[in-house]
Structure 1
Amino acid sequence: MESNNAIEVLAALAQSTRLDTFRLLVRHEPEGVPAGELARLLCVPQNTISAHLAILSRAGLIKGERHSRSIIYRAEIDTLRDLTLYLIKDCCGGSAELCAPLITALTPCSAPSAPENLQ
């Protein structure tokens, strides 16, 4: 990720409704959430949520996919990963012991286990 991209992504998240929207979409991966449901869950008018979704989409944080008459929005986890890696790329000057707590905190989900024939 380039510096300009990181600034655009961070700027998109630097507003409470957009941050809440993105976090909600991350929690609903991989199924996504329809735009109207996002507005309802966040108690935001539909025209307001549309403006926020457009900003998040331009920053590459979300994508919308039309299903019949509604648009299902999903978080772009790759963009979140790229931003996180960009921010911590030179973490702790290469001192692994200093980065260990950060890496532990960034792995809240269980890692997939290896197939039995590889263990």
Structure 2
Amino acid sequence: MLSGLALLLHEMMLFVSYVGSGSSFPKPMKPEEEQEALQAYHAGDQQAKNKLIERNLRLVAHIAKKYEGGNRSTEDMISIGTIGLIKAVNTYDGSKGTQLATYAARCIENAMCS
């Protein structure tokens, strides 16, 4: 439980540092890279999980922009969206024929709207 919270905090700090510094996000993974990372993560590689999350942070920012001006601050939306992204990586099932980004977008939006 504590390691999960520490990972979440690390991911959010990384994301906020990207947003706050004006730096660009890491480029999205190529499909074959993503498949390799997913296979490695399902085999227990936490570095692969981190890579999947980091390389999809751009998606969180994109979706958070759609909700600007609402009840929550952009920073809150980014934090909530990052939780949705982590959930997406944890629960993604590629056998259903959906791409990770498509599934993650739904999880991110669900987290932001709840």
Structure whose CA Rg is larger: 1
User: Greater share of strand residues, 1 or 2?
Assistant: 1
- The answer to whether the superposition gives a TM-score over 0.5 is no
TM-score, normalised relative to structure 1: 0.31
User: Greater share of helix residues, 1 or 2?
Assistant: 2
